[in-house]
C-alpha cells in the first residue's frame, strides 16, 4: 500500500448534476477516486458514463450546464469544490493540465504552436520567453517530434494530426504539472499514428513522474497506459483494480461484457465460382483527382452479392474517395464502375433512378447524415416514397416494418426527431434509410468508428443479420482491423490511393504480408499490457516516427 | 428638505439595507449606487432632479411589470411547446412583444380606435391638446392622435410588405445559389454586389424619381434594395447546410433542387433568417420613414410617421414636442423589434446543437 502522504488527488462521493429539461439531473452518482503521485489511472466506459465529466471535475471544473453538487475533490491538500475560481485558474495549466481529444480543434489556428506552448509558463512567470521556448524544444525532442527545433514555429494546420496531439502533450507538460488529464487523446487518430502518440505520452509521463488520468473507451489502449483501471457505467463506478488483475479476472458482468465485445465473428463466405458469376459492383482501373491532386491510382476490385468487402487503410489512403467514385459524387478521370457488368455513368446526375436506388450509403457521422429537422418517419419513409411510390397507410406500414428490422420500437420512434436519439439509434436509422430503397449494395463508410464498442458490436450484428436476410453486398470502409476481423469476407488494403494488397480475409490475416499490411496489423492495440513495450522493442524505439511514414 | 426628499432617501437606504441583509449582492449594488448618485444629483439639481429619477424608475418598473405580466399571460394562453420557449424569454423580449402586440392592435383596429379620420380637419393648425384631441393638432388642424394610429397601419404595413418581399426574393436566390453553386452562384453574387454598391437612399431616390411614388413602386424598390443582404445571409447559412451528409444522401437519392431547398435546407436555416427578418424590418422601416420625410415616400394625405415628423418639424423651434411623438413611435417599435430579435438570435445560437 502506498503511504498516505503520496496521495495527490482524492475524490470522495463526487456528485455532478446536469441541467436539462428545466431541471437538474444527477449524472455522476457519488464516485470515489484516489490517485497517487506518478500513478496513471485509466477511466473507461461508454459515452454518457461520465468519464470526461469526472476528468474535468478533477480540475475543479464543471462544463456549462453542469455543476458539482456534492462530495469533495482534494488536490494535494486543496479542497477544489470550495476554492474560489481565481485560485482554480492559477492551478489549471500550471499544476493540472488537460489534453483534449481533438488537438486540431483545441489549438488556436491563428497562433504558432510554440507561442501557445509558452503562454502558460510566461503567464505564470515560471520562465522567460526564451527559456520557455528552449524548454518547449527540449520537450519536442523528448516526444520525438520531427525537426523539434523548428516544428514549434509552424501553425497548427501545417503539422499532421498525430504530431499535433504530441505537441499538445508537450504543451500540457510546459509547467511540469503534477497531474495531466488525457481525454481520449488518440481516439481521432489512425492506428499507426496512435502508436506514436501512446509511446510519447507513456515516455513523458514516466520521465517526469507525472500522475495522469487517462480517459478512453478503448480497453486495449488503456491496458498499455494505466497502472490502475476504473470502469464507469452511467455515472457509477463498476469496479476498480490494477491493470493486470482487471484484464485477467474482471469480477463484474458489465466489465466482462466489455471484454467480450471483440469476440464477435461470423463465418467467412467464399466468392461464387463459375463463369456466370458477375460481381454486383466492379471497380475497374479507376483513377481520380481533386483538382490536380491525384488521389486514386488504378484502383480495381470486385464485390459479389451477399459478400462484405472491407476496404482498409489509414486516413488519406483514398478509401472514402473510392466510395465517392462509386456513388458518382466524384467522376473518375480514368477507368469505370460497373454494376452487374454494366458500366455506370460516371456522374450521379446522369444515373437513372433505379441505378441510384441499387447503391445506398451509410455514413460515419450519423449526426450529420440525418437531417435534424425531419422526423424519423419521414427520413426513412422518403426513399420508400421516392423510389417505391408508396403513400398513406402503405408507407406507414413500410416504415414500421423497417423500424422493426433495425430493432427500434415503431410506436416510440415513429415521430421523433434525430437529436432525440442516441448515437447508436441514429446509426440504425441511417441503416433503415439505406434499406428503405431496397438496394442490392450498401457502402458503409466507417459506420462504427464514432460509436462505443458495445453499440458498435450491435450495429455489426445487425448489418450481418440484414446481409443474410436480404443478400446484400457491403463495401465496408474502415480503419479498424478488429471490425474487419469480425465482419469481412474479403479485404482490400489501400495506401496513398493505391490498392497494395487484396484477397480473402483468412489469407490477409496470415503472413506473408505486404509491409504496409504488416504495419497496419501490428499497430492494432492488443489487450496485453506489455503489447506496446514489446512492439516498440521489435520495431526499435527510433522507428516510431518512421512507422507512420513507411 | 421636504417630506418627499426625506421619504425618497429613507426608502432607498432602507431597501439597500434589506438587500444587503438578505445577501442580494446585485440588487444591493444597484440600489446603493442609485442612492449615491441621488446624493450628487440632489445637491446639483435639487428636488426636481430627484422627482425625475423617481418618475424614470417608476416608468421602468411599470414597463418591467407589464412585460412580466404579458409574458405570463402568453405562457398561459399558448400551447405547451410554445409556452416552453416563452419561459426562456427575458423581460426585454417580453416588453418587445408587448409593444409589437400594441402596435398590431392599433394598426388592425385603427378606424375603431381613432376618434377622427386621418385626413379630417377638425381644428385650427397646431392647436394645443384639449379633451377632444389627446395630442393636439398638426399643421393643417388634423388630430395628431388619430394620425398616429392610422400611421401604425400605413407605415408598419408598408414596411412589413416590403421586408416580406425582400425576404422572398433574397432567400430564394440565396438558397438556389447555395444549392446550384457554380455560375449561377457567381451571377447572383455579382448582381447582389452591384445593388449593394449603390448607397441605398440615393438608389431609392433615383428609382422613385424615375418611376413615380406609388405604393407598389416603393415596396418593390425597397425590397430590391434590401434583398441582397438577405441573399448573402441565406447563401452563407445554406452553404453550411449544403455540405452536410444528409444533403449528399438526398442528392444521391436523386432528389431535385426544389425538394432539397424546401425539405432539407430551409428547415435548418430558419432561425438565423427569422432573426434577420426582425433586423431588416427595422432598417426597411427607417428607410421608408426617411423617404417619407424627404417627400418621396407615402404621399399625403395618408398618415405616415416619417412625413408627420417632417410636416410638424417647424414646431420644434417653438419648443413643442409634437413632431417628436411620431419619431418616438418609430424609435419604440425599432427598439421593441430588436429586443425580440436579440432573444431569437440568442435562442438560435444556443439551440444549434440540440
HSE, CB side, 13 Å, CA atoms: give it for residue B221.
Answer: 25
pLDDT level of residue B234 (50, 70, 90 thresholds) = very high
pLDDT for A121 equals: 85
The angle subtended at Cα A443 by Cα A439 and Cα A449, nearest 5°, is 135
Q: What is the pLDDT of residues B294-335, one digit of tens each?
A: 888 777 778 888 888 878 877 778 777 777 888 888 889 888
Contacts of B255 in chain A (CB under 8 A): 386
Phi, psi of A446 (to 5 degrees): 50, 45
Residues sharing a CB contact under 8 Å with residue A442, sequence separation 6 or more, in sequence order:
A359, A360, A361, A362, A434, A472, A473, A474, A475
User: What grid cell was written down for A485?
Assistant: 476481423
Closest CB from A327, A368, A387 relative to B244: A368
Partner-chain contact B246 A369, CB within 8 Å: yes
Partner-chain contact A348 B252, CB within 8 Å: yes
Partner-chain contact B254 A371, CB within 8 Å: no
- Is 50 exceeded by the pLDDT of residue A545? no
Interface test with B, best of A364, A373, A377, A435 (most B CBs within 10 A): A373
Angstrom distances, CA of residue A227 to CA of A185, A195, A374, B191: 17, 18, 47, 65
Closest CB from A22, A361, A368 relative to B252: A361
Quick one: A282 exposed, middle or buried, by C-beta within 10 A (0-12, 13-18, 19+)? Answer: buried
Query: What integer is the mean pLDDT of B193-218?
Result: 89
Query: What integer is the mean pLDDT of B80-104?
Result: 86
Closest CB from A368, A370, A386 relative to B253: A386
Query: What integer is the mean pLDDT of B100-120?
Result: 86
Partner-chain contact A363 B263, CB within 8 Å: no
Peptide bond into B301 cis (omega under 30): yes
Contacts of A351 in chain B (CB under 8 A): 254
- Is 70 exceeded by the pLDDT of residue B226? yes
What percent of chain A shows pLDDT beyond 70?
95
Q: Which of A242, A198, A203 is nearest to A221 (CA)?
A: A198
Nearest CA in chain A to B87: A22
Angstrom distances, CA of residue A528 to CA of A221, A249, A520, A547: 10, 13, 18, 21
* Fold type of domain A281-373+439-510: Rossmann fold (3.40.50)
Quick one: A21 exposed, middle or buried, by C-beta within 10 A (0-12, 13-18, 19+)? Answer: exposed
Contacts of A329 in chain B (CB under 8 A): 248, 251-252
pLDDT for A422 equals: 79
pLDDT for B98 equals: 92
pLDDT level of residue A261 (50, 70, 90 thresholds) = low
Q: What is the pLDDT of residues A264-320, one digit of tens each?
A: 677 777 777 766 678 888 888 888 888 788 888 888 888 888 888 999 887 778 888
Partner-chain contact B245 A372, CB within 8 Å: no
Mean pLDDT score of chain A, rounded to an integer?
A: 82
Dist. CA A442–CA B130, nearest whole Å: 81
pLDDT top residue among A390 and B193: B193
Phi, psi of A2 (to 5 degrees): -75, 135
Quick one: B34 exposed, middle or buried, by C-beta within 10 A (0-12, 13-18, 19+)? Answer: middle
Contacts of A419 in chain B (CB under 8 A): 354
**3-class secondary structure per residue, A120-153:** HHHHCCCCCHHHHHHHHHHHHHHCCCCCCCCHHH
User: What grid cell was written down for B318?
Assistant: 417653438
Partner-chain contact A371 B267, CB within 8 Å: yes
CATH topology match: A8-261 vs A281-373+439-510: yes
pLDDT level of residue A85 (50, 70, 90 thresholds) = confident
3-state secondary structure of A196: helix
- Is 90 exceeded by the pLDDT of residue A546? no
- Is 70 exceeded by the pLDDT of residue A46? yes
pLDDT for A443 equals: 92
Query: What integer is the mean pLDDT of A519-537?
Result: 77
pLDDT for A250 equals: 78
Phi-psi region of A525 (alpha: psi -120 to 50; beta: other; left: phi over 0): beta
Closest CB from A368, A383, A437 relative to B246: A368
Closest CB from A373, A419, A433 relative to B267: A373
What percent of chain B shows pLDDT beyond 70?
98
- Is 70 exceeded by the pLDDT of residue A383? yes
Dist. CA A494–CA A325, nearest whole Å: 15
Query: What integer is the mean pLDDT of B172-190?
Result: 91
Helices A376-388 and A423-436: angle between axes, nearest 10 degrees: 10
Angstrom distances, CA of residue A180 to CA of A96, A202, A223: 6, 12, 18
Phi, psi of A179 (to 5 degrees): -140, 130
- Is 80 exceeded by the pLDDT of residue A141? yes
Partner-chain contact B254 A356, CB within 8 Å: yes
- Is 50 exceeded by the pLDDT of residue A543? no
pLDDT level of residue A549 (50, 70, 90 thresholds) = very low
- pTM listed for this prediction: 0.74
Asked if A278 contacts A305 with a C-beta cutoff of 8 angstroms, the reply is: no
Partner-chain contact B253 A382, CB within 8 Å: yes
Mean pLDDT score of chain B, rounded to an integer?
A: 85
Query: What integer is the mean pLDDT of B59-79?
Result: 89
Partner-chain contact A361 B268, CB within 8 Å: no
Query: What integer is the mean pLDDT of A34-61?
Result: 83
Query: What integer is the mean pLDDT of B139-145?
Result: 82
Name the minimum distance, in Å, from the CA of A352 to any CA of chain B.
Answer: 8
Query: What integer is the mean pLDDT of A418-434?
Result: 86
HSE, CB side, 13 Å, CA atoms: give it for residue B181.
Answer: 6
Partner-chain contact B252 A374, CB within 8 Å: no
Partner-chain contact A374 B354, CB within 8 Å: no
Dist. CA B179–CA B238, nearest whole Å: 8
Angstrom distances, CA of residue B52 to CA of A290, B56, B62, B65, B328: 70, 6, 15, 20, 19
A72-81, A258-267, B317-326: segment of lowest average pLDDT? A258-267
Dist. CA A467–CA A271, nearest whole Å: 15
pLDDT for B95 equals: 92
Nearest CA in chain A to B245: A369
Query: What integer is the mean pLDDT of A213-234?
Result: 84
Quick one: A359 exposed, middle or buried, by C-beta within 10 A (0-12, 13-18, 19+)? Answer: buried
Closest CB from A365, A370, A383 relative to B253: A383
- Is 90 exceeded by the pLDDT of residue A13? no
Q: Which domains does chain B have, with CATH numbers?
A: 3-87 (no CATH), 118-350 (1.10.3720.10)
Contacts of B265 in chain A (CB under 8 A): none
Place of cell 394625405: B301
- Is 50 exceeded by the pLDDT of residue A526? yes
Nearest CA in chain B to A326: B252
pLDDT for A144 equals: 77
pLDDT for B193 equals: 93
Query: What integer is the mean pLDDT of A191-207?
Result: 81
- CATH annotation of A8-261: 3.40.50.300
Asked if B268 contacts A371 with a C-beta cutoff of 8 angstroms, the reply is: yes
For chain A, the domains span 8-261, 281-373+439-510
Asked if A546 contacts A192 with a C-beta cutoff of 8 angstroms, the reply is: no
User: What grid cell was written down for A135?
Assistant: 524548454
Amino acid at each position: 500500500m502506498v503511504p498516505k502522504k503520496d496521495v495527490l488527488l482524492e475524490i470522495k462521493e463526487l456528485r455532478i448534476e446536469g441541467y436539462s429539461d428545466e431541471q437538474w439531473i444527477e449524472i455522476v452518482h457519488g464516485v470515489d477516486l484516489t490517485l497517487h503521485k506518478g500513478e496513471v489511472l485509466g477511466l473507461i466506459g461508454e459515452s454518457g458514463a461520465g468519464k470526461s465529466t469526472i476528468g474535468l471535475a478533477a480540475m475543479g471544473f464543471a462544463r456549462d450546464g453542469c455543476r458539482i453538487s456534492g462530495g469533495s475533490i482534494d488536490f494535494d491538500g486543496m479542497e477544489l469544490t470550495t476554492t474560489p475560481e481565481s485560485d482554480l485558474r492559477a492551478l489549471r495549466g500550471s499544476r493540472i493540465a488537460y489534453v483534449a481529444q481533438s488537438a486540431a480543434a483545441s489549438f488556436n489556428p491563428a497562433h504558432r504552436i510554440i507561442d501557445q506552448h509558452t503562454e502558460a509558463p510566461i503567464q505564470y512567470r515560471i520562465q522567460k520567453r526564451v527559456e520557455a521556448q528552449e524548454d518547449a524544444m527540449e520537450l519536442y525532442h523528448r516526444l520525438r517530434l520531427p525537426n523539434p527545433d523548428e516544428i514549434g514555429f509552424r501553425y497548427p494546420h501545417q503539422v499532421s494530426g498525430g504530431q499535433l496531439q504530441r505537441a499538445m502533450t508537450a504543451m500540457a507538460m510546459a509547467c511540469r504539472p503534477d497531474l495531466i488529464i488525457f481525454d481520449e487523446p488518440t481516439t481521432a487518430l489512425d492506428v499507426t499514428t496512435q502508436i506514436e502518440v501512446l509511446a510519447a505520452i507513456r515516455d513523458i509521463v514516466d520521465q517526469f513522474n507525472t500522475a495522469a488520468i487517462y480517459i478512453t473507451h478503448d480497453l486495449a489502449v488503456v491496458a498499455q497506459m494505466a497502472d490502475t483501471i476504473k470502469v464507469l457505467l452511467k455515472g457509477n463506478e463498476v469496479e476498480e483494480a490494477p491493470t493486470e488483475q482487471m484484464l485477467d479476472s474482471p469480477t463484474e458482468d458489465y466489465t466482462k461484457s466489455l471484454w467480450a465485445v471483440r469476440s464477435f465473428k461470423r463465418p467467412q463466405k467464399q466468392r461464387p465460382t463459375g463463369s456466370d458469376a458477375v460481381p454486383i459492383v466492379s471497380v475497374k482501373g479507376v483513377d481520380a483527382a481533386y483538382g490536380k491532386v491525384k488521389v486514386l491510382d488504378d484502383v480495381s476490385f470486385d464485390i459479389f452479392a451477399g459478400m462484405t468487402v472491407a476496404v482498409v487503410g489509414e486516413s488519406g489512403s483514398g478509401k472514402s474517395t473510392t466510395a465517392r467514385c462509386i456513388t458518382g459524387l466524384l467522376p473518375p478521370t480514368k477507368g469505370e464502375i460497373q454494376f452487374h457488368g454494366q458500366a455506370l455513368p460516371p456522374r450521379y446526375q446522369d444515373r437513372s433512378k433505379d441505378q441510384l436506388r441499387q447503391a445506398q450509403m451509410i455514413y460515419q457521422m450519423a449526426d450529420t447524415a440525418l437531417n435534424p429537422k425531419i422526423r424519423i418517419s419521414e427520413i426513412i419513409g422518403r426513399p420508400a416514397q421516392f423510389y417505391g411510390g408508396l403513400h398513406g397507410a402503405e408507407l406507414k406500414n413500410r416504415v414500421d416494418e423497417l423500424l422493426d428490422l433495425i430493432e427500434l420500437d415503431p410506436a416510440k420512434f415513429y415521430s421523433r426527431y434525430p437529436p432525440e436519439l442516441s448515437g447508436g439509434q441514429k446509426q440504425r436509422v441511417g441503416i433503415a434509410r439505406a434499406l428503405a430503397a431496397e438496394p442490392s449494395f450498401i457502402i458503409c463508410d466507417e459506420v462504427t468508428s464514432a460509436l462505443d464498442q458495445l453499440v458498435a458490436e450491435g450495429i455489426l450484428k445487425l448489418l450481418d443479420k440484414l446481409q443474410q436476410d436480404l443478400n446484400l453486398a457491403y463495401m465496408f470502409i474502415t480503419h479498424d482491423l478488429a471490425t474487419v476481423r469480425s465482419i469481412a469476407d474479403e479485404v482490400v488494403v489501400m495506401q496513398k490511393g493505391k490498392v497494395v494488397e487484396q484477397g480473402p480475409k483468412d489469407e490477409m490475416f496470415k503472413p506473408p504480408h505486404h509491409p504496409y499490411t504488416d504495419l497496419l496489423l501490428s499497430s492494432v492495440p492488443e489487450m496485453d499490457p506489455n503489447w506496446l513495450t514489446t512492439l516498440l522493442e521489435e520495431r526499435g524505439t527510433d522507428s516510431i516516427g518512421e512507422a507512420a511514414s513507411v | 428638505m421636504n417630506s418627499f426628499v426625506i421619504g425618497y432617501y429613507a426608502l432607498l437606504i432602507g431597501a439597500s439595507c434589506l438587500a444587503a441583509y438578505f445577501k442580494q449582492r446585485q440588487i444591493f449594488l444597484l440600489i446603493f449606487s442609485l442612492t449615491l448618485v441621488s446624493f450628487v444629483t440632489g445637491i446639483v439639481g435639487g428636488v426636481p432632479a430627484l422627482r425625475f429619477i423617481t418618475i424614470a424608475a417608476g416608468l421602468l418598473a411599470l414597463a418591467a411589470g407589464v412585460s412580466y405580466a404579458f409574458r405570463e399571460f402568453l405562457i398561459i394562453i399558448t400551447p405547451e411547446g410554445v409556452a416552453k420557449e416563452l419561459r426562456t424569454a427575458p423581460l426585454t423580449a417580453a416588453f418587445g412583444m408587448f409593444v409589437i402586440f400594441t402596435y398590431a392592435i392599433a394598426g388592425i383596429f385603427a378606424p375603431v380606435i381613432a376618434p377622427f379620420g386621418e385626413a379630417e380637419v377638425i381644428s385650427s393648425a397646431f392647436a394645443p391638446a384639449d379633451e377632444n384631441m389627446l395630442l393636439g393638432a398638426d399643421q393643417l388642424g388634423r388630430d395628431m392622435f388619430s394620425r398616429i394610429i392610422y400611421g401604425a397601419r400605413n407605415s408598419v404595413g408598408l414596411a412589413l410588405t416590403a421586408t416580406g418581399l425582400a425576404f422572398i426574393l433574397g432567400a430564394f436566390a440565396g438558397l438556389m445559389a447555395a444549392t446550384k453553386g457554380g455560375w449561377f452562384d457567381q451571377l447572383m453574387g455579382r448582381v447582389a454586389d452591384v445593388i449593394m454598391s449603390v448607397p441605398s437612399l440615393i438608389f431609392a431616390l433615383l428609382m422613385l424619381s424615375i418611376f413615380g411614388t406609388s405604393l407598389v413602386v416603393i415596396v418593390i424598390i425597397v425590397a430590391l434594395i434590401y434583398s441582397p443582404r438577405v441573399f448573402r445571409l441565406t447563401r452563407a447559412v445554406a452553404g453550411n447546410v449544403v455540405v452536410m451528409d444528409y444533403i449528399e444522401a438526398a442528392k444521391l437519392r436523386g432528389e431535385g433542387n426544389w425538394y432539397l431547398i424546401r425539405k432539407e435546407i430551409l428547415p435548418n436555416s430558419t432561425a438565423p433568417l427569422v432573426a434577420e427578418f426582425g433586423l431588416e424590418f427595422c432598417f426597411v422601416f427607417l428607410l421608408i420613414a426617411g423617404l417619407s420625410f424627404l417627400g418621396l415616400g407615402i404621399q399625403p394625405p395618408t398618415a405616415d410617421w416619417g412625413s408627420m415628423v417632417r410636416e410638424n418639424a417647424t414646431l420644434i423651434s417653438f419648443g413643442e414636442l409634437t413632431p417628436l411623438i411620431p419619431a418616438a413611435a418609430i424609435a419604440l417599435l425599432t427598439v421593441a423589434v430588436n429586443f425580440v430579435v436579440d432573444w431569437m438570435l440568442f435562442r438560435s445560437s444556443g439551440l444549434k446543437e440540440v
